[in-house]
Amino acid sequence: MKNMLSVFKQKIFSSYYLTYKLFKLIFLDDSYLQVVGFSNSLKQKKPCDKDGNPVPWMNYNVISFLEGRLNKNLSLFEYGSGYSTIFYSNLVSNVVSVEYDEKWLNKIQKMLPANANLVYKSLDYDGEYCQSILSTKSSFDVVVVDGRDRVRCAKNAVNALSDRGVIIFDDSQRDIYEEGLEFLVEKGFRRLDFEGLKPNNYGFDRTSIFYKDNNCLNI
């Protein structure tokens, strides 16, 4: 009987302790979920920080890193537009973002500052979408691979990087992107992984930054 009471007390205490910790994590102003903006993202139904400013739909560790490393001397190309486009445009000199969803493009376009340019390309594979970075006839310091056809996008991005350029490859934990990740390593890039929680999500996420010596992020 004493053993049963002891087990019962332990279960009650564990349940109370877990509930208490979850309450603090969710509701206290200085909790992780509040500070990074996760709770606010749930309320707003979009990726944003605690003050409502747009952030990429990437894990919070890489968001924090990019906030501290991106600067107004950099140009950026992005495969896949969104709230991330607004985020990048506030940190770098200029942004070019390619988008295949015309309705989504029109929505995001209304929110962008003058230094961001959205380019519409219909969704295809191994076609104009992944090659759109080459059609700009420009080089970029940062290329974000976060749209469709990512393996081919990454391969084309290599040919449009500046001498100090880096490639940011989101959702790199997915097996379907392994070919693209291996390609970049074979091209002499080193890889830095950031892992953690992303806005409005519950699972594990990884973003990988591929870089060489004397890169623009000072890695």
| 7 CB-side CA count, 13 A | 4
3-class secondary-structure state, position 134: helix
Same-domain check for residues 126 and 78: yes
Quote the number of domains for the chain: 2
Query: Average pLDDT, stretch 139-158?
Result: 98
Which 8-state DSSP code applies to residue 114?
T
113: in domain: yes
Please, what is the angle between helix 150-157 and helix 128-135, to 10°? 20
pLDDT exceeding 70 applies to what percent of the chain?
89
Please give the Cα distance from 80 to 114 (Å, whole number).
Answer: 18
Same-domain check for residues 57 and 24: no
| 37-92 per-position pLDDT tens digit | 899 999 999 999 999 999 999 999 999 999 999 999 999 999 999 999 999 999 99
Please give the Cα distance from 77 to 167 (Å, whole number).
Answer: 10
Same-domain check for residues 21 and 103: no
Query: Average pLDDT, stretch 144-158?
Result: 97
Strand pairing class (161-170; 190-196): unpaired
Same-domain check for residues 8 and 94: no
The pair of three-digit structure tokens given for residue 167, joined into one six-digit string: 């490639």
Please give the Cα distance from 32 to 201 (Å, whole number).
Answer: 15
Is the dihedral angle over the CA atoms 149, 150, 155, 156 positive or is it negative? positive
Q: CB neighbours of 104 closer than 8 A, spacing ≥ 6? A: 81, 82
Please give the Cα distance from 119 to 113 (Å, whole number).
Answer: 15
219: in domain: no
Same-domain check for residues 25 and 69: no
139: in domain: yes
Q: Which residue has the higher pLDDT, 13 or 216?
A: 216
Query: How does DSSP assign 161-203, residue by residue?
Result: EEEEEEEEEETTTSGGGHHHHHHHHHTT-EEEEEEE--TT--S
38: in domain: no
Q: CB neighbours of 12 closer than 8 A, spacing ≥ 6? A: none
Q: CB neighbours of 123 closer than 8 A, spacing ≥ 6? A: 100, 101, 129, 148
CB 219 within 8 A of CB 211: yes
Exposed/middle/buried for residue 163 (C-beta within 10 Å: 0-12, 13-18, 19+): exposed
Give pLDDT, residue 166: 98
Q: What is the model's pTM?
A: 0.89
Residue 97 belongs to what domain range? 48-211
Same-domain check for residues 80 and 144: yes
40: in domain: no
The pLDDT of residue 17 is above 90:
no
The pair of three-digit structure tokens given for residue 15, joined into one six-digit string: 């349940």
57: in domain: yes
The pair of three-digit structure tokens given for residue 17, joined into one six-digit string: 């302790």
